[in-house]
């Protein structure tokens, strides 16, 4: 019998038992949906993570008292003393490898005013120095960056994020205009090129001023982050070692005691991210595997029932010359077709569900090609594994006894 004839017979047999076939399909769809949706979601998150890692250059390390990702077992930061501006300045004076060093602190969220226009009261008032722009992978769209003298003298200069510029000035030139922040006047010396959004939050809704100026207005007693750029990506480890030793000295950490600060890089964040996505993917595989096991048993059940109902048909086919190989191929084809139909539906739904995150995270659409190919192959194996016994049972039926079956 030709393959096409076998497939036609398989579809005809499934069509005559729509209810049982549909119930079996549902189980397969659920299993494949769980695996594919998890795979797609992990890929979407991975793409998003890769895009947002440009927020910090590959050679930049971040020093904080609070880790970027908190877990239930990672609560030591609660009792840590803050990293102060004084410690930052001492660290900067002692460092040799750590060149482009900047403080990173959000002094407060506030409203920015210019003439009769003002922003919402959610603009971040960030303090930095001449290295902050580069360390955070921003660039200047108009005007200039802060200079060492601006920071050293605490000058009332400010750089506007793109969102703030648009709200206050629209298409007008913002350079050399004065803005008011919490009763203090600052001169706009630059506009920062827009970067977009991350985790649903705008990355351009801030202003940047010399940290020395903001510290004199809002106070120096606060916890800050420190960003350090290594001389090259090949010297990341050496820079981390130097920073660790100097900060332990500056912060007077006793010998043998654990660090009371965290040092993170893109690679360390990647490791944390991989652990998270690995758990998500494993969860999808476990749930999907359990559902597919049930679906496989369902496939075997429907095929056994089909063999019983078609005993007479099998006897007639054997009587006219069909051999065991032909009978086995027909029933295996039916089992594989059921699995493939359910698999394709589950894949389509899983891809659609996983890509819902694309709209939430504002990232690119994902088509998990490897997972799709693995799903097609996997459904074929499930059809064969759970269909082989019913097919073998059908092939071993005695043609005479089968013809007498009612």
pLDDT, tens digit, 9 for 90 and up, residues 143-161: 999 999 999 999 999 999 9
Note the pLDDT of residue 225: 93
User: What are the sequence ranges of the domains in the chain?
Assistant: 3-52+270-404, 59-264
Tens of pLDDT, residues 52-77:
655 555 678 889 987 765 555 555 56
Let me know: does 25 contact 345? Beta carbons within 8 Å: yes
Confidence of residue 107 (pLDDT cuts 50, 70, 90): very high
> Which tokens sit at 279?
């758990």
Task: Give the length of the chain.
Answer: 406
pLDDT at 267 over 70: no
pLDDT at 47 over 80: no
pLDDT at 29 over 60: yes
Burial 273-296 (b: 16+ CB within 10 A, else e): beeebeeebeebeebbeebbeebb
Mean pLDDT of 138-147: 94
pLDDT at 341 over 80: yes
Higher pLDDT, 274 or 132: 132
CA distance 97 to 307: 76
Going 331 to 336 to 342 to 344, the CA torsion angle's sign is: negative
Beta bridge partners of 181: 112, 184
Question: Which of 55-59, 322-326, 329-333, 355-359 comes out lowest in average pLDDT?
Answer: 55-59
Neighbour count for residue 359 (Cβ, 10 Å): 9
> Which tokens sit at 204?
């351009």
Confidence of residue 331 (pLDDT cuts 50, 70, 90): confident
Higher pLDDT, 221 or 168: 168
Q: What is the mean pLDDT of the chain?
A: 82
Helical pair 18-52 and 266-309, crossing angle rounded to 10 deg: 170
Mean pLDDT of 300-315: 75
């Amino acid at each position: 019998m030709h393959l096409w004839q076998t497939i036609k017979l398989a579809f005809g047999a499934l069509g005559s038992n729509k209810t049982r076939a549909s119930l079996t399909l549902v189980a397969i769809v659920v299993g494949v949906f769980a695996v594919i949706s998890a795979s797609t979601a992990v890929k979407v998150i991975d793409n998003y993570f890769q895009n947002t890692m440009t927020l910090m250059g590959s050679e930049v390390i971040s020093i904080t008292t609070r880790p970027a990702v908190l877990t239930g077992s990672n609560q030591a930061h609660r009792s840590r003393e803050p990293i102060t501006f004084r410690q930052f300045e001492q660290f900067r004076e002692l460092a040799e490898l750590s060149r482009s060093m900047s403080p990173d602190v959000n002094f407060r969220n506030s409203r920015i005013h210019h003439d009769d226009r003002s922003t919402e009261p959610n603009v971040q008032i960030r303090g930095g120095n001449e290295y902050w722009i580069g360390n955070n992978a921003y660039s200047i769209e108009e005007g200039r960056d802060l200079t060492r003298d601006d920071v050293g003298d605490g000058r009332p200069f400010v750089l506007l994020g793109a969102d703030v510029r648009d709200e206050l000035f629209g298409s007008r030139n913002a350079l050399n205009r004065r803005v008011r922040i919490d009763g203090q006047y600052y001169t706009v010396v630059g506009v920062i090129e827009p970067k977009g959004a991350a985790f649903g939050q705008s990355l351009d809704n801030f202003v940047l001023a010399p940290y020395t100026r903001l510290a004199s207005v809002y106070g120096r007693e606060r916890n800050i982050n420190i960003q350090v750029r290594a001389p090259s990506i090949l010297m990341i480890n050496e820079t981390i070692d130097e920073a660790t030793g100097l900060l332990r000295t500056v912060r007077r950490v006793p010998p043998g005691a654990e660090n009371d600060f965290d040092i993170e890089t893109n690679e360390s964040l990647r490791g944390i991210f991989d652990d998270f996505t690995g758990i998500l993917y494993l969860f999808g595989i476990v749930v999907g595997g359990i559902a597919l096991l049930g679906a496989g048993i369902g496939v075997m059940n429907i095929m056994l029932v089909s063999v019983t109902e078609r005993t007479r048909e099998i006897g007639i086919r054997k009587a006219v010359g069909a051999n065991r190989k032909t009978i086995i191929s027909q029933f295996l084809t039916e089992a594989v077709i059921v699995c493939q139909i359910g698999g394709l539906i589950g894949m389509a739904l899983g891809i659609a569900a996983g890509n819902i995150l694309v709209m939430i995270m504002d990232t690119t659409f994902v088509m998990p090609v490897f997972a799709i190919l693995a799903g097609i192959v996997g459904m074929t194996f499930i059809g064969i594994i759970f269909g082989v016994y019913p097919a073998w049972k059908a092939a071993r039926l005695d043609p005479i006894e089968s013809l007498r079956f009612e």
